[in-house]
Amino acid sequence: MDKFDREILNLLTQNARQSVTAIGEVIGLSRTAVNERIRKLEDLGVIQRYTIEVGDQAQKQKVCAYFEMTFRPFDLKAVKKSIQAISEIRQAHALSGATDVLVYVEARSMERLMQVRQQLAELEHLDKIVTSTALEQMV
């Protein structure tokens, strides 16, 4: 990765929707050269996805919760496959200790959060699920 690639990444991090032409004008490369570099960065896995940040108003309308899940037996591959289909899951971690999986969910409503909880509760070999609703984001 050279200085142009780093600058492309920096500009895309600031605004992933800006045009390839605009990026080229800032860094002094043609649209075609920038486009080729972006595709190369995607192919190498340096750029994995493009996302958006939701503003405060939309964030205030969401309901967030953590789900601690324990399985008997615990099959990581099966659990991973099952939870990938739930779009509201923002993070999921396999843990050491008493809890096998910790899942963070952002839903549009309490009703949808309860539906997600029900989906999780129906996972095969689930022994225990503990729900903790987030009251306020502090950091």
What is the tens place of the pLDDT at every residue in 82-97? 999 899 999 999 999 9
The confidence band for 98, taking pLDDT boundaries of 50, 70 and 90, is very high
Per the prediction, the chain carries an average pLDDT of 91
- Domains defined along the chain, listed by start: 3-43 (1.10.10.10), 56-133 (3.30.70.920)
Of 101, 103, 106, residue with least CA distance to 127:
101
CB 121 within 8 A of CB 105: no
pLDDT at res. 95: 97
- List Cβ<8 Å contacts ≥24 apart for 131-137: 131/65, 131/66, 131/67, 132/65, 132/66, 132/67, 132/68, 133/63, 133/64, 133/65, 134/64, 134/65, 134/66, 137/59, 137/64
Whole-number Cα distances in Å, 14 to 17, 35, 54: 9, 17, 14
The confidence band for 54, taking pLDDT boundaries of 50, 70 and 90, is low
pLDDT > 60? residue 121: yes
Average pLDDT over residues 18-32: 94
Residue type, 133: T
DSSP-derived secondary structure letter, 21:
H
